[in-house]
Amino acid sequence: MPTGFKIDSLANHPHYLVTLSKWYHQAFSHLTGELTLDQRQQNLEQFVKGDPLPHSFIAYDKQGLQGGLCLVQHDIESHMSYSPWLSRIFVHERARGQSVATGLINHAQAYIQSLGYKKLYLLTEHNQQFFSNFGFEQIDQANLNGFPVTVMALSIV
């Protein structure tokens, strides 16, 4: 992991929940439809209970929260047979280009592997090439709230 930031469970840093909820709301509202900021924050509160899934990891440094991601059992109704999912990957603009997303994804992959899963899924609107660099492969196309997304899978070895 690159130096300069740490990765930990959101459950160990619940004071970041409100900020992360706001970031997710701004970045992903177009995909989730009518979900309000309060509803998004209530949903994210499920991630601080310390359960194996859903689970959220954050990246932070001395300046504060840098980014986060979530791991969920299911992320899209049309693909309920796939599980678990890497979801809501977000890095604040001040931290982009510093390998924060890479650190978060690698950490999440190791965590999912430690739980015994052999595959990890995600969906993306625009970042297929970025996720391909981690070994994710396109397996399907879908539609979320009128927006086309690519469904990708990673075999965990």
CATH architecture of 6-114: 3-Layer(aba) Sandwich (3.40)
Contacts of 92 (CB under 8 A, 6+ apart): 23, 65, 66, 67
Whether the per-residue pLDDT at 1 is higher than 90: the answer is no
Q: For residue 2, is the peptide bond before it cis, meaning its omega torsion is within 30 degrees of 0?
A: no
Average of per-residue pLDDT across 53-58 = 95
Number of other residues whose CB lies within 10 A of the CB of residue 115: 11
Higher pLDDT, 48 or 53: 53
What angle do helix axes 17-32 and 37-44 make, rounded to 10 degrees?
A: 120
Average of per-residue pLDDT across 70-85 = 90
Write phi, then psi, for 84 (nearest 5 degrees). -85, 175
Output the pTM of the full model: 0.90
Q: What pLDDT digit, counting tens, does each position of 17-46 carry? A: 999 999 999 998 888 777 888 988 888 888
> By C-alpha distance, which of 60, 59, 57 is closest to 69?
57
pLDDT score recorded for residue 50: 78
pLDDT score recorded for residue 3: 58
Q: What pLDDT digit, counting tens, does each position of 94-148 carry? A: 999 999 999 999 999 999 999 999 999 999 999 999 999 999 999 999 988 889 9
pLDDT score recorded for residue 34: 78
